[in-house]
Structure 1
Amino acid sequence: MNQHPSTDQLLLKMPSLRAVRSFVAAARYQSFTRAAESLCVTQAAISRQIKELEEHLGASLFDRVGRSVRLTPAGSIFFEAAQLSFLNIAQAAARVRKDHGKHARHTVTVCCTPAFSALWMAHRLPSFFSANPDIDLDLVTTQNFLSLEPGMHPDVFITKMSRVREGYVSVALFHDRIYPVCTPRYLEQHPEIGSLEGLRNGVLLNLSPYGRSQVAEHVDWSVWLAVHRLDMADGLQHGAHYFNANDYNLLIQMTLNNQGVALGFDHLVSPLIAQGQLTRPLAQELVLEDTHHYLAYREDKADDRALQRFRSWFFAQGGAAAPA
């Protein structure tokens, strides 16, 4: 059976970190002189540290070429590992300083879809940061909440899933309200889309389910029109143009560029309507009263002040009071 060396044994066999730091700087700059300048030491100190490291390893790390240096094969192997280790140490030190230092800051990690991030969060975040200057947000977007990278444990999920993961408390938010949207200019140029039949026969920009984490109902144009007693196939027979994409941000951008009519999810497009960039060509809509969007937060961080402040801000933005 292989026996792993103890931590004490590993530490005893470790080279001097000061020597390794000098080596990494020299390897990055391919110059002892520039390495010395970057570390605010003398060139002689760099040479001495690297010689000590080479003696410890029993291998030459650099080939000297005039005034510059070049890594040997052994040096390349050691540089790759040493640089990564120093990056990890630096990142860990930064996190500790931020979370536990004299002027500690707090970070809330939020996971949501790209569309929610771009169309709901982006224009509201300035109000959060101005009210909470000591809190940073780490925003992670995904279409598949069930397949996040290992070790990823967001503080908050915003999703259509009522139970996204064990260890989270889910709070119901709003229902989906779905209605057609286009630009005022597009409506002026295509007044026929002011009726359901005219809309069906127009250029429809459709959100497809492919590659998306659709746990709740997926509403596309065929579903929306069927609810209003129209068959999508009839429109296609009359030359209607139908564009599919699984990127909602793309569809909204195409709509803003006067390329057709998209289905607008009220919580995402209402600010664009309020600004006059989009309009509703007709009044009909679909409300999914049996389903909700949810905010799910980590149960083990329920008392975390930064998380509590984010939740309060979020519920206020969504027109609902934060639950007790």
Structure 2
Amino acid sequence: MNESRLNLDLYHKMREEQDEYRSWLLSQTPKEILNHACEYSVREDILATMCEGHLPPMLAKALLSAEQPLASVYADWSKGDYRNYEELIEVIQSCAAKELRQSPRFMEICIYQIDLDKDKDRIAFRPSEELMKFQGSDRVESGIYNRVFQGIVDCPSLEGVYYMFNVNHPDGYTGRSLSVSDVVQVIHSPSVKPGFYFCESFGYKKIDFEPEKTRDMTHAIHVLLLEPGKVAKPALVNNTLEDMQRLVGGHIEALSLPGGGQLICNEDGKFLTLPQNRALKDEAGKVVDVLVGTCFICGAKDGEFISLTPDQMKQFKKEFQYPQKFVRRNNEIVAKDIKPHEMER
């Protein structure tokens, strides 16, 4: 069942609950009706908010399983001092998450995967019994891992987690399919003891792990990385301003590209005389600007940066595959591709 259908079913269930409440309220004395006027109004506000379908599928499914979802949300609302619309959304999501955690079907987990750029001993995808051979210690080194997922999943067991993250990735997941050497942290589960579990060739092994040493990549997006003197390559970039600024070396500037791409570069790159990178051309193939410094291309939707689609990745990789050098000819800038044998090694 998709997200829209689940949210619609949840709204209808809450609407029926409110209609029953209204019928009961109209049977009361005028004084009693006045006593419940504020409650009735807040419940209507909750319903109006639910019309917009804010809940992710699993949260909607969990709240849908509650006997009286509207009453549950109102009860949580009445416990706090809430004033605005955004807070109401948070209360609904929090109530749904509480229902989720109480269900035996769901687990709250994190997934950690080895950052291949930090894997100097090449232990990624190896079982724990081989750690001593390759790194001289059987300890799982937390510092080479990235956190690639945190959330609640519709799985009652670690075997279910393995299946989900190989066959049916959650929406927005950008990590690799779950494999040997990955670490699953069980935060909350009615059936699995909380802790850290190392994914082996067969099953899992409970281990000691230090999550504070890992890098948070739960907001990563797939981009095309453009570096001076290097071939364009797909990469993962954390979708935070801090990480994007770190990658380009300063304040970011976003330029729209045909095909729905967003080119992210250093806003002050030319002032800082960063090395030349690639050309931007018009429809006629004329160079209109020269990119400098490290840049990357991502997608965009509703004002937010998102991953490139496979088709976009293919399109932009073909267009920006090689770095370029520039010469001025007849008062025009001419770009020439730097082939692999000419690049720095």
Which interval holds the TM-score relative to the shorter structure?
under 0.3
Whose Rg is larger?
A: 1
TM-score for the superposition, normalised by structure 1? 0.26
> Higher strand proportion, which one?
2
> Higher helix proportion, which one?
1
